[in-house]
Chain A
Amino acid sequence: MPTSVDTAALSSSLNRRIGIHPWALALVFASLTLSLPLIVIAGSFLIPAQDIWQHLLHTVLPEYIVNSLILMLGVGVMTALLGIAPAWLVTMCRFPGSRLLEWALLLPLAVPAYIVAYTYTGILDASGPVQSWLRAITGWSYGEYWFPEIRSMGGAIAMLSFVLYPYVYLISRAAFIGQSICALEVARTLGCGPYKTFFRVALPLARPAIIVGLTLVLMETLADYGTVQYFGIAAFTTGIFRTWFGLGNSAAAAQLSALLMLFIIILIYIEYWSRKQQRYHHTSTRYDALSQEKLKGWSAAIAIIVCGLPVFLGFLIPVGFLIKWALLTYESVVDQQFYILMWNSIALAVCAALMATVLALFMAYGKRHYSNPITNSAVNISGMGYAIPGTVIAVGVMLPFAWLDQTIDHLFRTYFDISTGLLLSGTLIALMFAYMVRFLAVALKTVDAGLTKIKPAMDDAGRSLGMKMITLMRRVHMPMLRGSLLTAILLVFVDVLKELPATLILRPFNFNTLAIKAYEFANEERLADAACPALAIVLIGIIPVIYLSRSISISRPGHEYST
Chain B
Amino acid sequence: MIRIKLTTSLLSGVLIFAQSIAIAAEVNIYSARNEALIKPLLDRFTQQSGTQVNLVTGDADALLKRLEIEGDNSPADLLLTIDVARLQRAQESNLLQPVTSEILINVIPESYRDREGYWFGLSLRSRVIVYAKDRVNPEQLSSYEALAAPEWKGRICVRSSSHVYNQSLVASLIAHDGIEATEQWAKGLVGNFARTPQGGDRDQIKAVAVGQCDLALVNTYYLGGMLHSELDEEKQAADKVALFWPNQDDRGAHINISGAGITRSARNKTEAIKLLEFMTSDAAQVWYAEQNYEYPIRPGIAIGDTMKQWGEFVVDRLNLDQLGQYNAEAVRLMDRAGWK
Q: Answer yes or no: are A and B bound together in one complex.
A: yes
B327: which of A141, A246, A523 is its contact (CB, 8 Å)? A246
Determine whether the beta carbon of A409 is less than 8 Å from that of B73.
Answer: yes
Residues of chain A within 8 A (CB-CB) of B328 are 246-249
Q: Looking at the assembled complex, report how far the CB atom of B266 sits from the nearest CB atom of chain A, in whole angstroms.
A: 14
Q: Is B117 an interface residue (CB 8 A)?
A: no
Determine whether the beta carbon of A151 is less than 8 Å from that of B164.
Answer: no
Residues of chain B within 8 A (CB-CB) of A395 are 62, 65, 69
A391: which of B62, B197, B229, B233 is its contact (CB, 8 Å)? B62
Determine whether the beta carbon of A121 is less than 8 Å from that of B59.
Answer: no
Chain A 399-425 interface residues, beta-carbon cutoff 8 Å to B: 399, 402, 405-406, 409, 416, 418-422, 425
Q: Is B36 an interface residue (CB 8 A)?
A: yes
Q: Is A376 an interface residue (CB 8 A)?
A: no
Q: Is A90 an interface residue (CB 8 A)?
A: no
Which chain A residue has the least Cβ–Cβ distance from B72?
A: A406
Residues of chain B within 8 A (CB-CB) of A234 are 340
Chain A 247-300 interface residues, beta-carbon cutoff 8 Å to B: 247-250
Determine whether the beta carbon of B202 is less than 8 Å from that of A525.
Answer: yes
Residues of chain B within 8 A (CB-CB) of A394 are 62
Chain A 193-238 interface residues, beta-carbon cutoff 8 Å to B: 229-232, 234, 238
Determine whether the beta carbon of A509 is less than 8 Å from that of B327.
Answer: no
Determine whether the beta carbon of A398 is less than 8 Å from that of B65.
Answer: yes
Binds B, one of A122-130, A165-173, A536-544: A122-130
Q: Is A91 an interface residue (CB 8 A)?
A: no
What is the CA–CA distance of A406 and B75 in the complex, to the nearest angstrom? 13
A509: which of B28, B197, B331 is its contact (CB, 8 Å)? B28
Q: Is A328 an interface residue (CB 8 A)?
A: yes
What does the 1/0 interface line of B209-238 toward A look like (CB < 8 Å)?
111100000000010010001110100010
Binds B, one of A302-310, A461-469, A500-508, A552-560: A500-508
Given contacts A241-B162, A526-B225, contact A398 B66 (CB under 8 A): yes
What is the CA–CA distance of A325 and B234 in the complex, to the nearest angstrom? 13
Q: Is A510 an interface residue (CB 8 A)?
A: yes
Which chain B residue has the least Cβ–Cβ distance from A400?
A: B69
Residues of chain A within 8 A (CB-CB) of B36 are 520-521, 524, 529
What does the 1/0 interface line of B43-57 toward A look like (CB < 8 Å)?
000000000001111
What is the CA–CA distance of A421 and B73 in the complex, to the nearest angstrom? 5
Residues of chain B within 8 A (CB-CB) of A524 are 34, 36-37, 225
Given contacts A129-B233, A229-B162, A232-B199, contact A247 B69 (CB under 8 A): no
Residues of chain B within 8 A (CB-CB) of A510 are 54-56
Q: Is B115 an interface residue (CB 8 A)?
A: no
Q: Is A142 an interface residue (CB 8 A)?
A: yes
Residues of chain B within 8 A (CB-CB) of A246 are 161-162, 164, 167, 327-328, 331
What is the CA–CA distance of A528 and B62 in the complex, to the nearest angstrom? 27
Residues of chain A within 8 A (CB-CB) of B66 are 398, 426, 505
Q: Looking at the assembled complex, report how far the CB atom of A249 sits from the nearest CB atom of chain B, in whole angstroms.
A: 7
What does the 1/0 interface line of B93-135 toward A look like (CB < 8 Å)?
0000000000000000000000000000000000000000000
Given contacts A127-B209, A143-B211, contact A328 B73 (CB under 8 A): no
Q: Is B200 an interface residue (CB 8 A)?
A: yes
Q: Which of B37, B196, B335 has the most CB of A within 10 A?
A: B335
What is the CA–CA distance of A60 and B75 in the complex, to the nearest angstrom? 38
Determine whether the beta carbon of A55 is less than 8 Å from that of B71.
Answer: no
Determine whether the beta carbon of B69 is less than 8 Å from that of A399.
Answer: yes
Determine whether the beta carbon of B211 is less than 8 Å from that of A242.
Answer: no
Q: Looking at the assembled complex, report how far the CB atom of A222 sits from the nearest CB atom of chain B, in whole angstroms.
A: 18
What is the CA–CA distance of A235 and B262 in the complex, to the nearest angstrom? 36
Residues of chain A within 8 A (CB-CB) of B61 are 244-245, 248, 250
Determine whether the beta carbon of A525 is less than 8 Å from that of B222.
Answer: yes
What does the 1/0 interface line of B231-262 toward A look like (CB < 8 Å)?
10100010000000000000000000000000
Which chain B residue has the least Cβ–Cβ distance from A504?
A: B58
Q: Is B177 an interface residue (CB 8 A)?
A: no
Q: Is A44 an interface residue (CB 8 A)?
A: no
Given contacts A55-B335, A129-B233, A528-B231, contact A245 B35 (CB under 8 A): no
Q: Is B206 an interface residue (CB 8 A)?
A: yes
Chain A 53-107 interface residues, beta-carbon cutoff 8 Å to B: 55, 59-60
Determine whether the beta carbon of B211 is less than 8 Å from that of A141.
Answer: yes
Determine whether the beta carbon of A125 is less than 8 Å from that of B15.
Answer: no
Which chain A residue has the least Cβ–Cβ distance from B231?
A: A528
Q: Is A452 an interface residue (CB 8 A)?
A: no
Q: Is A446 an interface residue (CB 8 A)?
A: no
Q: Is B319 an interface residue (CB 8 A)?
A: no
Residues of chain B within 8 A (CB-CB) of A241 are 162
Determine whether the beta carbon of B73 is less than 8 Å from that of A406.
Answer: yes
Chain B 51-95 interface residues, beta-carbon cutoff 8 Å to A: 54-63, 65-66, 69-71, 73-75, 89
Q: Looking at the assembled complex, report how far the CB atom of A557 sits from the nearest CB atom of chain B, in whole angstroms.
A: 47
Determine whether the beta carbon of B211 is less than 8 Å from that of A151.
Answer: no
Q: Looking at the assembled complex, report how far the CB atom of A503 sits from the nearest CB atom of chain B, in whole angstroms.
A: 10
Residues of chain A within 8 A (CB-CB) of B54 are 509-510
What is the CA–CA distance of A181 and B60 in the complex, to the nearest angstrom? 57
Q: Looking at the assembled complex, report how far the CB atom of B163 sits from the nearest CB atom of chain A, in whole angstroms.
A: 9
What is the CA–CA distance of A520 and B32 in the complex, to the nearest angstrom? 10
A248: which of B74, B89, B225 is its contact (CB, 8 Å)? B89
Determine whether the beta carbon of A245 is less than 8 Å from that of B200.
Answer: no
Residues of chain B within 8 A (CB-CB) of A13 are none
Residues of chain A within 8 A (CB-CB) of B184 are none
Q: Is A375 an interface residue (CB 8 A)?
A: no
Q: Which of A60, A241, A521 has the most CB of B within 10 A?
A: A60
Residues of chain A within 8 A (CB-CB) of B340 are 232, 234
What is the CA–CA distance of A241 and B62 in the complex, to the nearest angstrom? 10
Q: Is A372 an interface residue (CB 8 A)?
A: no
What is the CA–CA distance of A422 and B74 in the complex, to the nearest angstrom? 7
Q: Looking at the assembled complex, report how far the CB atom of A156 sits from the nearest CB atom of chain B, in whole angstroms.
A: 10
What is the CA–CA distance of A98 and B293 in the complex, to the nearest angstrom? 52
Residues of chain B within 8 A (CB-CB) of A527 are 231
Determine whether the beta carbon of B233 is less than 8 Å from that of A127.
Answer: yes
Q: Looking at the assembled complex, report how far the CB atom of A150 sits from the nearest CB atom of chain B, in whole angstroms.
A: 9
Which chain A residue has the least Cβ–Cβ distance from B209?
A: A127
Residues of chain B within 8 A (CB-CB) of A33 are none
Determine whether the beta carbon of A121 is less than 8 Å from that of B203.
Answer: yes
What does the 1/0 interface line of A351-395 toward B look like (CB < 8 Å)?
000000000000000000000000000000000000000010011
Residues of chain A within 8 A (CB-CB) of B15 are 418, 420
Given contacts A231-B198, A528-B229, contact A127 B222 (CB under 8 A): no
Q: Looking at the assembled complex, report how far the CB atom of B30 sits from the nearest CB atom of chain A, in whole angstroms.
A: 9
Determine whether the beta carbon of B12 is less than 8 Å from that of A418.
Answer: yes
Which chain B residue has the least Cβ–Cβ distance from A502?
A: B62
B69: which of A129, A232, A398 is its contact (CB, 8 Å)? A398
Jot down 18 A-B pairs with beta carbons below 8 A, ordered by A. A59-B335, A60-B335, A121-B203, A126-B211, A143-B211, A230-B198, A230-B199, A246-B162, A246-B327, A395-B65, A398-B69, A402-B70, A422-B73, A504-B59, A524-B225, A525-B201, A527-B231, A528-B230
Given contacts A232-B160, A245-B60, A510-B56, 14 further A-B contacts (CB under 8 A): A60-B335, A127-B209, A128-B233, A142-B210, A149-B195, A229-B160, A230-B199, A329-B230, A395-B65, A508-B56, A512-B35, A525-B203, A528-B229, A529-B230
Q: What are the nearest 9 A-B pairs in CB distance? A: A232-B198, A509-B54, A142-B211, A127-B206, A246-B331, A151-B198, A525-B202, A59-B335, A127-B210
